[in-house]
Chains A and B, each alone.
Chain A
Amino acid sequence: MKADIRVALVGNPNTGKSTLFNVLTGLNQKIGNFPGVTVDKKVGYTTLPDGRVAEIIDLPGTYSIYPKSQDESIVFSVLADKHNAHTPDLVVVILDASNLKRNLLLYSQVADLKIPVIVALNMMDMAKKADIIIDVDLFAKKLGVPVVPISARKNEGTAALKNAISFANKFAFQEDSIDVSTIAPELVEAIGRELNIDNPYLALQLAHQHETLKFLTPEQSDRVEELEKEHSFNSQKAQGAETIARYAFINDLLYDTVKKTVNAQDETHSNKIDKILTHKVFGFVIFFAILMFMFQAIFSWSLYPMELIADAFVWVQDSLHHVLPPGPLTSLLVDGIIAGLSGVMVFIPQIAILFAFISILEDTGYMSRVTFMMDKLMRKVGLNGKSVVPLIGGFACAVPSIMGTRTIENWKDRMITIMVTPLVTCSARLPIYTLLIALVVPNRNVWWLFNMQGLALTGMYVFSLISAIVVAWVFKFILKGKERGYFIMELPVYRMPRWNNVVFSMYDRSKAFVFQAGKVIIAISIILWVLASYGPGDRFAKIDAQFNKPQYTQHMTPDSLSRTISSAKLENSYAGVLGHSIEPVIRPLGFDWKIGIALITSFAAREVFVGTMATIYSVNGSAEKMQSVYEKMKQAKNPDTGQPVFTLAVAFSLMMFYAFAMQCASTVAIVFRETKNWRWPAIQFAYMTVLAYAASFIAYTLLK
């Protein structure tokens, strides 16, 4: 869409910035990327009263333009880079009226960059409740910018805000907040002169942040570094002095514009809730109860929509097979691409439900309490209170969870969280576990009430959490972090979740999953299809010729003949040859070449296992027909010994392998995208494969 004016939304976290963004843009928004960084760029469009179209960019919430995390660093680079496709014409700074003082720090920094600014004063209703009276006109006069009181949740004042945007100046008229030149006068002057920058605050910020700014050339950055040395610039001291000066300005500003009648310290609503939710005993009980409910919901609520999606794909595949002429192209489209696509799509319900829960927990303010409660425990194993969220999310899918680690400011904590999240039992492992457990664990109750199969499954989940914690603890000693970890975090007041935000989050994340993971899965399923559909030399032709003889065509039904042929072809395909060639390596784990094929194909995505097993044991129809796979696998006999293939030892060995192995191309891709270095996914892949092999070997040896 072509926009006439570009507007950036800037504000502290928990100020209702995303709500305002959703209210302004509606469904008319998309998620993109800022060039060179992995921070999501949320852009939407809105039509102004004068008919012009405004492009709204939602920048990550931050307390200051000095960044503490990767997400926050984008705020300054977008505002400061004047020659960029994202450079805003106007900044709307959203302030929480019930907590103006801290919110104004960011405003004063943004205002000093001398970009035209409008202030949106949000949560006026909350301020009123807390007996805070704001003289909006005087406030606007002292700042020198338009101030629009709004309530984003109630959609009040947004029309006035759009009006203010359409009347916004092309030039910045805001009053100066602090005298920047007093902080490092010679340095600011020198940078301004050499880099041709006329704004002293921009020059000062370049001194602070030049190392991470993409829009500076290496020569410019080196020159700034030299100038800093020349003028013996201490970044932290300068920042401290600046912050103190800014708060002096803010106190002066608030002195006659805001009146707060002191109420007799009565206990706030939020405090009462906290007494229960962060209670020594109830706090943990409630947390685990919420988790249990979440898993239950992820599995049970998604059952029906997942079946629906799977059935729809089977129907599409069936009809395409009927409509299109048979041949390699049809097969590639139907059995390669569409089959791969269905593998992605069936996970949408689970991902949507998981993100609905996560966004509710975040929106209400509960997630920060979980972080608060778990920090000490997590720190012991080298993680961080904030790692709890990705680890819990890992039960559904590691891909969005690894994307969620961006909120962890500390590099080492974040890396360890990324490294161990794929160990947590994700939803793709669930069909494998249920199939294998059903094969070898009797469906009997023990101790009256516990089903043995259920216990085995619960055991796999608990085991995955324990292994993630142990591995994190090991990484704590291996990884060397430069920065110190710290945990200074706002505990926002409890609020009702905003349901439209929940819906947006479900939609956003599902879309991101389909497009990001989908690409990889489809590419790999095409490769797999090729490997499984073609064989070296004339092997396939020989099979066709062999089964064309009368002893086969006359004594077998066409159905079972075609199954026997496809089974023979699979054994002789490139995938089958690969399976045979790795057999010596996987023999000690109790696996034969058929399982070997499934292992290889599963390295694209774990959920491929059941489908591959279905093909190998030549089950007719779709991979969703689990019962028939189950029966075929149950009847499978080892040709040498005549014993069943899937014994207790083999099944548990296989489960151990799937518990540890990095069999997910999407996770590898996302880890690369998040770390921007192939070393991390490579290390992760290596350590997980080694663990998988060792755990499998131990399980098989012990249970044999």
Chain B
Amino acid sequence: MRLSQLEVGETGIVKEFTDLEMSVKLMEMGCLPGEEVRIERIAPLGDPIAINVAGYQLSLRKREAYTIVLQ
């Protein structure tokens, strides 16, 4: 299951990343393996998405959310 496959309001727990470069940037922002993430909303045009992670809101593109594997 990938983060990009969740619907609005659903939660998941980060397991690993499929892209090294992206993982470094995501982890810096507190999106680490073991963290709970929730889809907050999707932009009006369908991309990017906003997630809740580590107590704040982070926006990322769907393509980037696809590199996050959930448990």
Contact = CB atoms under 8 A, between A and B. Distances in A.
Interface string B7-41: 00000000000001111111111101100000011
Contacts of B71: none
Interface in A258-307: 270-271, 274-275, 278-281, 283-284
- Point out which of B20, B21, B56 has the most chain A C-beta atoms below 10 A from its C-beta: B56
A704 interface: no
- Point out which of A105, A243, A283, A490 has the most chain B C-beta atoms below 10 A from its C-beta: A243
A559 B27 CA distance: 76
B25 A68 contact: yes
A375 B25 CA distance: 19
Contacts of A280: 44
A489 B41 CA distance: 14
B45 A490 contact: no
A283 B46 CA distance: 13
B27 A98 contact: no
A274 B50 CA distance: 11
A278 B42 CA distance: 9
Contacts of B22: 486
A236 B55 CA distance: 26
A247 B32 CA distance: 9
A64 interface: yes
Given A102-B54, A375-B43, A247 B61 contact: no
A101 interface: yes
Contact of A283 (B26, B44, B47): B44
A487 interface: yes
Contacts of B21: 236, 484
A368 B50 CA distance: 11
Contacts of A274: 40-41, 50
A505 to B, nearest CB: 24
A323 interface: no
Contacts of A281: 44
Contacts of A489: 58-60
B2 to A, nearest CB: 16
Contact of A490 (B20, B40, B48, B56): B56
B41 A278 contact: yes
Contacts of A385: 48
B5 interface: no
A680 interface: no
Q: Report, as a range, how many residues of chain A touch the other chain.
A: 35 or more
Given A101-B54, A373-B45, A488 B64 contact: yes
A375 B46 CA distance: 10
A486 B64 contact: yes
A500 interface: no
Contacts of B57: 270, 490-493
A545 to B, nearest CB: 71
A492 B57 CA distance: 7
Given A99-B55, A489-B58, A490-B56, A243 B27 contact: yes
A66 interface: yes
A592 B1 CA distance: 69
A244 interface: yes
Interface residues of B, number: 31
A373 B54 contact: no
B58 A240 contact: no
B4 to A, nearest CB: 13
Nearest to A132: B55
B62 to A, nearest CB: 9
Given A99-B54, A102-B54, A244 B32 contact: yes
A367 B10 CA distance: 26
Contacts of B41: 274-275, 278
A491 B58 contact: yes
Contact of B56 (A102, A243, A279): A102
A372 interface: yes
A244 B27 contact: yes
A172 to B, nearest CB: 23
A277 to B, nearest CB: 10
A103 to B, nearest CB: 9
A309 to B, nearest CB: 41
B58 A490 contact: yes
A490 B61 CA distance: 12
Contact of B43 (A64, A278, A492): A278
A240 B47 contact: no
B59 A491 contact: yes
Given A64-B28, A244-B27, A486-B25, A372 B50 contact: yes
A105 B25 CA distance: 13
A462 to B, nearest CB: 21
A368 B59 CA distance: 9
B25 to A, nearest CB: 5
A385 B20 CA distance: 24
Contacts of B20: 236-237, 240
Contacts of B40: 271, 274
A98 B40 CA distance: 19
A121 to B, nearest CB: 16
Nearest to A96: B56
A317 to B, nearest CB: 52
Given A236-B24, A487-B59, A489-B59, A375 B48 contact: yes
B48 A66 contact: no
A503 interface: no
A214 interface: no
A82 to B, nearest CB: 26
Nearest to A238: B24
A376 interface: yes
A376 B24 contact: no
Contacts of A368: 59
Contact of A372 (B24, B32, B59): B59
Contact of A487 (B45, B56, B64): B64
Given A63-B28, A376-B45, 11 more contacts: A66-B24, A243-B24, A243-B28, A271-B40, A278-B41, A281-B44, A373-B43, A375-B43, A486-B60, A490-B59, A493-B56
Interface of B: 20-30, 32-33, 40-41, 43-48, 50, 54-61, 64
Interface of A: 63-64, 66, 68, 98-99, 101-102, 105, 236-237, 239-240, 243-244, 247, 270-271, 274-275, 278-281, 283-284, 368, 372-373, 375-377, 385, 484, 486-493
7 contacts: A63-B28, A101-B55, A243-B32, A280-B44, A375-B47, A375-B61, A487-B61
Closest 9 pairs (CB-CB, A-B): A102-B30, A491-B57, A376-B45, A243-B27, A280-B44, A376-B47, A64-B28, A487-B61, A488-B60
